[in-house]
Amino acid sequence: MRSPCRLAGAVLALTSLASCHNETPGDGGRPDGSSTAPRPARIVSLAGHITESLYALGLTEGEVVGAAGPVPDGIGPRPADLGPSADPDLVALLAVRPDLVVMAPHPAVEAFLSGHGIRFEVVTTIDLLDPVHAIRRMGEIVGRVGRARALENEILTRLVAIKDRLEEVDVVPIAVATSRHPALFVAGHPFLDAAIRYAKGENVLGGLVQAYTRLEPEELARFGPRLLVDASDALAGEPAMPEEVARWWAGRAPPSGGFRAVVMDSDALFSPGPRLAEGVETLARALHPEAFR
């Protein structure tokens, strides 16, 4: 294990890396982070991880007036439901009269908002630390800079602790399943690929162009994973059943060149917001349980 001084140095290094990145602003800010618009009072989120980030920054249901995609449990009263993130209800969005819309890249929605003169901020998630950059930027926009800095420090400190745990382990060739019916796997998804690498895994499907790919379990074996990480139940909001899941995959893998299946019992990795480090640690524990004993 690292000494406290080395650990602190690693935190500073990650913090410096995060500080070198500037978000591309939407209509509401400059690259240096300064604001050119008044603080928004009515905010709409068009992605679940963005909604999580806004609530983690201390915003309330009176400030987050609409949300597309999942909303964290324990929030009440809940913001107006604007449908799925991929196809939000734009009529309902106009009805809540937002001062600001925070969203993932979506050219059609961006054009719609621009046409209606609605301020928006686009949050990208490509690199591992992009969720940290997004939280910092949102904190600046909504006037929660102190809370954003605290969240950033918590995430980076935990990421460094994970890296420390994994210092002695070998990289494992893996595949990550997000569904069993049909069998769907993480492929060339930049953010998830970066998270897998950080957790000392190698995504055997990472060279594919599409973010996710459908494969028969028998086909997966030819890509050579040693481990299959199944996040299907967590993403569906169902209880994890490791033994049943392992049997399901074992019955479909070829006798030679097969892979072992393990369960990832959290959806945090797939919601790149304040739970970023939790998601990476959940994956790392699935890949390298011996490093966390």
Instruction: Please state, in angstroms and rounded to a whole number, the distance separating the CA atoms of residues 233 and 241.
Output: 8
> What is residue 84's predicted lDDT score, i.e. its pLDDT?
95
At 99, which amino acid appears? D
**Are residues 68 and 85 in contact, defined by beta-carbon separation less than 8 angstroms?**
yes
**Are residues 254 and 218 in contact, defined by beta-carbon separation less than 8 angstroms?**
yes
Instruction: Please state, in angstroms and rounded to a whole number, the distance separating the CA atoms of residues 41 and 82.
Output: 18
pLDDT in tens, 245-284: 988 888 877 665 678 899 998 899 999 999 999 999 999 9
Pair type for strands 260-263 and 227-230 = parallel
At 33, which amino acid appears? G
> What is residue 18's predicted lDDT score, i.e. its pLDDT?
54
Q: What are the beta bridge partners of residue 177?
A: 185, 230
**Are residues 261 and 228 in contact, defined by beta-carbon separation less than 8 angstroms?**
yes
> What is residue 32's predicted lDDT score, i.e. its pLDDT?
37
* Short-list 153, 148, 135, 158, CA closest to 280: 158
Cβ-proximal residues to 22 (8 Å cutoff; 6+ apart), any chain: 31, 32, 33, 133
> What is residue 105's predicted lDDT score, i.e. its pLDDT?
96
**SS3 (DSSP) at 197:** helix
Cβ-proximal residues to 244 (8 Å cutoff; 6+ apart), any chain: none
Q: Can you give the pLDDT of all 293 residues of the chain as single tens digits?
A: 554 444 444 444 555 555 544 443 343 443 334 455 689 999 999 999 999 999 999 998 789 999 998 888 777 678 999 999 999 999 999 999 999 999 999 999 999 999 999 999 999 999 999 999 999 999 999 999 999 999 999 999 999 999 999 999 999 999 999 999 899 999 999 999 999 999 999 999 999 999 999 998 888 888 999 999 999 999 988 888 888 998 888 887 766 567 889 999 889 999 999 999 999 999 999 999 999 98
Going from the C-alpha of 224 to that of each of 233, 257, 277, 285, the distances in angstroms are 24, 7, 28, 21
> What is residue 36's predicted lDDT score, i.e. its pLDDT?
58
> What is residue 273's predicted lDDT score, i.e. its pLDDT?
94
* Short-list 274, 248, 127, 72, CA closest to 177: 248
Instruction: Please state, in angstroms and rounded to a whole number, the distance separating the CA atoms of residues 46 and 82.
Output: 8
DSSP per-residue string spanning 279-293:
HHHHHHHHH-GGGG-
pTM here?
0.84
End-to-end CA distance of the chain: 13
Other Cβ atoms within 10 Å of 34 Cβ, number: 9
Structural domains in the chain, sorted by start: 4-160 (3.40.50.1980), 170-292 (3.40.50.1980)
**Are residues 78 and 61 in contact, defined by beta-carbon separation less than 8 angstroms?**
yes
> What is residue 257's predicted lDDT score, i.e. its pLDDT?
61
Instruction: Please state, in angstroms and rounded to a whole number, the distance separating the CA atoms of residues 113 and 119.
Output: 7
pLDDT in tens, 221-234: 889 999 999 999 99
Instruction: Please state, in angstroms and rounded to a whole number, the distance separating the CA atoms of residues 86 and 46.
Output: 9
> What is residue 38's predicted lDDT score, i.e. its pLDDT?
83
**SS3 (DSSP) at 163:** helix
Q: Which of the 8 DSSP states describes residue 35? A: B
> What is residue 274's predicted lDDT score, i.e. its pLDDT?
96
Cβ-proximal residues to 227 (8 Å cutoff; 6+ apart), any chain: 172, 173, 174, 175, 201, 259, 260, 261, 262, 286, 287
Instruction: Please state, in angstroms and rounded to a whole number, the distance separating the CA atoms of residues 214 and 138.
Output: 35
